[in-house]
A and B are shown apart, each in its own frame.
Chain A
Amino acid sequence: MRGPYLVQWHLLRRGLFSWVIARATLAMALLLTGNPPWGDGGPVGLGVVVLTTALGLIEVERARERVLLANLGVALPNLILMLAAPALLGEIALMVLLP
């Protein structure tokens, strides 16, 4: 079945943008407190995923996008999944790639 790729791409891009913002902010905060900028793995990564999803949902509200997404048939669990997916993959990649 053909998926709604334009909607998925839009939400994944928004999730990616939110993750970059959340990660950059966290890295600066960690550097200022004398810690390594990427944090110490697991719990920090999970926090970043939660923060990214929250930022994505705030952006959906700010853009008054909830009605459009509902009219497109995007249910809330799917919306959360698509907003969280880039952060989840990004955090896994960081855990694998960084020492």
Chain B
Amino acid sequence: MADCVSRSFGERRVLSAASLRAVPGELRALLGRSGAGKSTLLKIAAGWMTPDSGIVRLNGNARLIWSPATLARLGVFYLPDTGALSTALSVGAQLAMLAERYPAGMAPAQAMERLGVERFATTRPDVLSGGEKRRAEVAAIFVRRPTVLLADEPLRGIAPIEQERILQAFRALAAEGCAVVVTGHDVSALLDAADRVTWCTSGTTYELGAPHLAKQHEAFRRDYLGATRV
């Protein structure tokens, strides 16, 4: 999706030559320390931030600047760490909007039932717990049925059982052909669920391959995993 992109914030260069691949049918974990540029890379890939250099490709089209709405219409769904649902409308109303806009996806009632949020159909997301809100957002993703899902720290601040449920849902999306990219620091859970690992460090990215190969990568172990048992 993103090829050799760079991005600076004032004097600070966050990304210098970072790339991100999103492959249909694959769940990719984008890992790296805080401040390594994972979220910036995801925002660039989703059209929410313009890179200083480099390009973003989708379906054979390459551009320096994409609008988020254009990418969304082409099949990209962006799930930021701050959430993807409005606090002004009920979960059901927002899923109905997505269903009307993208009729090829799962029916809202079915998606809510799948994620166990059907009782929150008339509830606004801001009154839900972190895990419930995340599950409602994943239900929205099933309604949209995107070709590319870019999820920024979707497991942050939620219980392990909720994390498991969300990762299962992402695995199901990948099995249906969606290209899923997930960032986060829940290393064990992400490595268990992922097909591929991309390591973001020092402004660039490294393709580490399958999780078992990533775990054997010396620099990745030394500089990121540390003594974590994964």
Contact = CB atoms under 8 A, between A and B. Distances in A.
B78 A6 contact: no
Interface stretch (B66-74, B189-197, B207-215, B217-225): B66-74
Contacts of B164: none
A6 B101 CA distance: 9
Interface stretch (B18-26, B52-60, B87-95, B155-163): B87-95
B77 interface: yes
B97 interface: yes
Contacts, number: 71
B34 interface: no
Contact of A7 (B70, B80, B101, B140): B101
Nearest to B94: A68
Interface in A25-76: 59, 63-65, 67-76
**B interface residue count range (under 10 / 10 to 19 / 20 to 34 / 35 or more):** 20 to 34
Interface residues of A, number: 20
Nearest to B96: A6
A73 B83 contact: no
B85 A68 contact: yes
A71 B89 contact: no
B122 interface: no
Given A68-B94, A70-B78, A75-B69, A4 B101 contact: yes
Contact of A73 (B82, B93, B94, B101): B101
Contact of A6 (B80, B83, B97): B97
A78 B69 CA distance: 10
A73 B100 contact: no
B44 interface: no
Contacts of B88: 59, 63, 65
A75 B72 CA distance: 10
Given A67-B78, A67-B80, A67-B84, A73 B96 contact: no
Interface of A: 4-7, 10, 59, 63-65, 67-76, 78
Interface of B: 47-48, 67-70, 72-73, 77-78, 80, 82-89, 93-94, 96-98, 100-101, 140, 144
